């Protein structure tokens, strides 16, 4: 009986592990962090219940997108080293079960965001549709897939603002643009690092199709746009979204910290600088969102 219990626990634990891989749970949680930051920037008054619906609904929709993506790309995932052990590739999980998970999470997430307001549910569902129906199939056809994917990828930060205010104006638009531009240096540096693996899967992730100076130059351009849009609220024409001079200077310094390896990449085309940029881009987005929130409550 003890052996059976241990076996059952081990099987359930393995199932949970496969489920977490299917929905990319760590990535999904990091995306929801952006939505929470956007909510905290706008909430007045703060509602823990609304924040809970936003967080859980957002997590469900991001997880659904990842599950749909793995269903569609399972044959391509089998060709790449970093994805060949995913549960649909190894057949530890059936495609039909994965689809049930994806559809259920989509319905659940949309319903939870609808509790906040219709606009939040609409943008949340739109992100799933664009990610699954546009970005995913384009990845094997054109490097412009990164541009298309930047739209659903930029929604979470502004989704929190919309969830708190039921308004999509210049404030939400600014938050959208920050995360929109940020995705290019982030995903192109990742595409640089995983270039050979992406080629095995047939994915076209770099703007020129190769790790060349033109690609590196475009990474620098979009990194600069990311920095510029991140400090725009300091100039006072983004409505209720404001930023103090102190915070803008700190964000600018973080932007230079992110930009330096991109400049080195243009000069040398060395892989180590792409790795540094990818890591620093994650640090940058996380810290500037924290700075925005802290600035609202303690400085502005």
pLDDT tens digit sequence for 189-218: 999 999 999 999 999 999 999 999 999 999
CA 59, CA 105: separation in Å to the nearest integer?
9
What are the domain boundaries of the chain? 17-166, 169-300
CA gyration radius, the chain? 20
The predicted pLDDT at position 14 comes to: 87
* DSSP single-letter state for residue 140: T
Number of Cβ within 10 Å of residue 240's Cβ equals: 15
130, 106 contact by CB (below 8 A)? no
206, 191 contact by CB (below 8 A)? yes
The predicted pLDDT at position 300 comes to: 66
Element of type H or E holding 299: none
| Domain 17-166 classification at class level | mainly alpha
Q: Picking from 8-12, 84-88, 178-182, which range would have the lowest pLDDT averaged per residue? A: 8-12
Q: List CB contacts of 107: < 8 A, sequence separation 6 or more.
A: none
pTM of the model: 0.94
The predicted pLDDT at position 1 comes to: 39
CA 190, CA 192: separation in Å to the nearest integer?
5
Residue 10, pLDDT above cutoff 50: yes
CA 236, CA 42: separation in Å to the nearest integer?
16
């Amino acid at each position: 009986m003890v052996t059976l219990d241990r076996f059952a626990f081990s099987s359930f634990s393995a199932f949970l592990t496969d489920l977490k891989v299917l929905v990319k749970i760590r990535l999904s949680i990091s995306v929801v962090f952006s939505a929470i930051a956007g909510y905290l920037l706008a909430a007045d008054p703060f509602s823990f219940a609304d924040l809970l619906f936003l967080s859980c609904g957002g997590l469900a929709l991001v997880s659904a997108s990842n599950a749909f993506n793995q269903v569609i790309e399972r044959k391509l995932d089998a060709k790449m080293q970093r994805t060949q052990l995913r549960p649909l590739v190894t057949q530890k999980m059936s495609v039909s079960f994965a689809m049930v998970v994806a559809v259920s999470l989509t319905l659940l997430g949309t319903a939870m965001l609808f509790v906040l307001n219709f606009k939040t549910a609409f943008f949340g569902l739109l992100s799933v549709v664009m990610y699954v129906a546009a970005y995913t199939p384009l990845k094997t056809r054109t490097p412009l897939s990164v541009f298309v994917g930047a739209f659903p990828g930029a929604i979470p930060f502004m989704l929190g603002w919309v969830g708190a205010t039921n308004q999509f104006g210049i404030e939400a638009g600014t938050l959208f643009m920050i995360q929109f531009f940020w995705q290019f240096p982030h995903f192109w540096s990742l595409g640089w690092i995983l270039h050979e693996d992406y080629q095995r899967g047939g994915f076209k992730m770099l703007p020129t199709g190769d790790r060349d100076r033109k690609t590196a130059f475009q990474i620098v351009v979009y990194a600069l746009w990311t920095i510029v849009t991140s400090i725009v609220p300091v100039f006072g024409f983004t409505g209720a979204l404001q930023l103090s001079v102190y915070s803008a200077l700190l964000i600018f310094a973080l932007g230079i910290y992110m930009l330096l390896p991109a400049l080195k990449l243009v000069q040398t085309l060395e892989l180590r600088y792409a790795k540094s940029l990818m890591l620093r881009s994650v640090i940058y987005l996380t810290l500037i969102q924290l700075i925005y929130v802290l600035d609202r409550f303690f400085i502005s």
